[in-house]
Structure 1
Amino acid sequence: MNSPGTAVDRLLVDASGNRPRADARRNVERLVAAARTAVAEVGVDVSAHDIARRAGVGVGTFYRRVPSREALLEAVLEEVLAEVMALADRALADPDPWRGFAAFAAAYVGLRTESCGIGEALGGACGEVFERTLADLRGRVRALVGRAQEAGVLRTDVAWQDVPFLLAAVATADRTVGLAAGERQWERHLQVVLDGLRTPHPSPLPGTPPA
């Protein structure tokens, strides 16, 4: 049986098939929204107390409405990862391979930049919880890269495994060597990376692709 699509639905699954009361659903919706914001700002180590405070409910209500902090975070992160997968599917459906690849790259980096927690989940900080989802995402990245290379619009000496690392490297800190990041800094970085991936006269790459 497939899990419900949204984080709220996943958390409201009742083996008896009973519909939750309206106030129960509202509390879960508030907890999911608060958890998503907290995970973006703090990361996967955010506490139940912090999420409850952001949702405007007590810790007792928190534990009455969700099985655990871990279950709530898993549902929220699974929802966001599903959004990443949908972005990849839309990119693969684009008849222009480069346009699809570039659109996915921008959306992917945007999500990583906006959410500390999604970056941690993509980096494997959640252990084996999202192993299947990440495997599916790797398959889509491989397909996007392969399609663009077959069309002659992405340099063929770049392995598909290089691409997730390149996109992860686009995100930037707010400051470095005494300089403050400019407006749309990560978008500037992404454009440099995309131009480097598309160049018709690349320099030889050192080392080996990621495993």
Structure 2
Amino acid sequence: MTEPEVLNGRRARAVRNDGAILTAARDVFVADPDAPIAAVARAAGVGISALYRRYPSKEALLGTLCLDGLRQFVGVAEAAGVVADPWEAFVTFLRGVVEADVHSLTVYLAGRFPTTPEHRDLAAQARVLADGILHRAQQSGAVRADLESTDLPMIYEQLAAIRLGTPDQIRELRRRYLDIHLAGLRATATSYGSLAGTAPTGAALGARWHRST
């Protein structure tokens, strides 16, 4: 085997290991945010030294995990943004976000690691894309006008809290209750009346990611 082939083999193995680590980290830390990093190594089937070569601390691993979640969110929003019909774009977006389950990371991991400029830049990009999808749907008359962009993360987190049964059952239940939410988000649903209370501020949502001292 030539040296380039050896290097390519090592790179491929490193990519596989990194994917396995991130998948395991998501499962382990969503189930138990206080779990030790060694539990991730066991779940990923890699040695602890291999894990530490990539992530020198639990905080570094959590930070990377949440970057991955933000990238998934951005990808979902970009794909939904090109859907021609504003309502269908909105539905595609919400369903994609819920299916990706990125907000389980918010529910369980917010405030457990220091955020970086990359986190903040990706979060800003995600916010702009999400706002654009919502506002286009509202301007078309498809989505109720009293819905605020900061209401949506609360819906995602409500659905992320559903963890009943097998993974397939959880997905089905989340789809079911998202459909109920979507029925209430249509402009025609305002016949029930205006939404009670006020939406959370962006500052209140963002504050959860700041580490407590």
TM-score normalised to structure 2 length: 0.73
Residues of 1 paired with 2:104 and 2:174: CA distance? 15
Q: Secondary structure at the match of 1:90?
A: helix
Which aligned pairs between 1:57-206 and structure 2 lie closer than 5 A? 57-112=46-101, 116-117=104-105, 119-120=107-108, 123=110, 125-129=112-116, 130-174=119-163, 184-200=172-188, 201-206=191-196
Paired residue type of 2:92:
A
* 8 A contact 1:24–1:65 mirrored in 2: no
2:3 corresponds in structure 1 to none
Change (3 A) 1:32 1:26: same
Q: Supply the AA of the counterpart residue of 1:142.
A: D
Q: Which amino acid aligns with 1:55?
A: A
- 1:27-46 aligned at under 5 Å gives the runs 27=14, 29-43=16-30, 45-46=34-35
Instruction: Provide the residue aligned with 1:9 in structure 2.
Output: none
Moved more, 38-47 or 50-59: 38-47
Assess, with a 3 A threshold, how the Cα gap between structure 1 residues 53 and 174 changes in structure 2: closer, same or farther: closer
Question: Aligned-pair distance for 1:77?
Answer: 2.8
Deviation, 1:199, is: 4.1
Q: Distance in 2 between matches of 1:183 and 1:73?
A: 24
Q: 1:30: how far off? A: 1.3
Change in 2 beyond 3 A, CA 1:127/1:144:
farther
Indicate the residue corresponding to 1:208 in structure 2.
Answer: 198
2:52 counterpart of 1:48: no
Q: 1:71 to 1:20 in 2, by over 3 A?
A: farther
**What value does the CA root-mean-square deviation take over the aligned residues?**
2.9
Number of paired residues? 186
CA distance in structure 2 between the partners assigned to 1:104 and 1:141 by the alignment: 8
AA of the residue aligned to 1:196: G
Would the alpha carbon gap of residues 131 and 183 (structure 1) be closer, same or farther in structure 2, given more than 3 Å must change? closer
Q: Please list, as runs of the form range in 1=range in 2, the aligned pairs for 1:8-27 lying within 5 A after superposition.
A: 22-23=9-10, 26-27=13-14
**Matched residues in 2 for 1:106 and 1:163: separation?**
12
- Richer in helix (by share): 2
Identity of aligned residues (%): 27
Structure 1 segments unaligned to the other structure (5+ residues): 1-18, 176-180
Residues 38, 46 of structure 1: 8 Å contact kept? no
Structure 2 unpaired stretches of 5+: 1-5, 202-213
Spell out, residue by residue over 1:50-94, the C-alpha distance to the aligned partner (whole angstroms, 9 max, x if none): 122223232223223444443333333322321210110111111
Offset at residue 97 of structure 1 (A)? 0.8
Higher relative contact order (CA 8 A, sep 6+): 2
